[in-house]
Amino acid sequence: MEFQTKTAIIIRQDLLTWQKLNVTAFLATGIMSENPQMAGEPYVDAVNNQFSSLSVQPIIVLAADGGVLQKIHSRALSRNVKAAVYIEEMFSTGHDDANRAVFKEYSPDTANIVGIGLVADKKIVDKITKGAKMHP
């Protein structure tokens, strides 16, 4: 099956492993909340146990340094592509309200972005994510 859109999560490459996994999980939920059509049907095993739905579309995970992440953020904003964004200061908070409060303290120019997730037309995502590489 070929998709018209592309879903990408870009993670700052110098994060600790637990941080990369944490940010990826948070950004994936942000993408899915904005794009509920991406959730497939629930999974059922051979003995009829029910499991949660997964994304119907592959999600690529890319790596970039902080400078490239800033450029990706700017490109997404300039193209009006709504993105899920995680900033470094959110690692020190303990809950959703605190995350939103610390996020609100920064502008696109001052945010210390550690991850961005987005879904859009394939060509647009390729242009926005230019400079990021497949995560090793």
List per-residue pLDDT tens for the chain, 136 residues long. 788 999 999 999 999 999 999 999 999 999 999 999 999 999 999 999 999 999 999 999 999 999 999 999 999 999 999 999 999 999 999 899 999 999 999 999 999 999 999 999 999 999 999 999 998 8
Contact 87, 112 (CB under 8 A): yes
Order of strands across the sheet that contains 113-121: 84-87, 113-121, 5-12, 59-64, 133-134
For residue 123 the two structure tokens come to 């060509």
Report domain extents, the chain: 5-134
- Domain spanning 5-134, CATH class: alpha beta
Q: What pTM was computed for the model?
A: 0.94
- β-pair partners for 24: none
Q: Where are the alpha helices (DSSP H) in the chain?
A: 17-34, 66-78, 96-103, 122-128
Helix, strand, or coil here: 40?
coil
| Amino acid in position 71 | K
Q: How much is the pLDDT for 3?
A: 86
Q: Which of 114, 83, 85, 113 is nearest to 7 (CA)?
A: 83
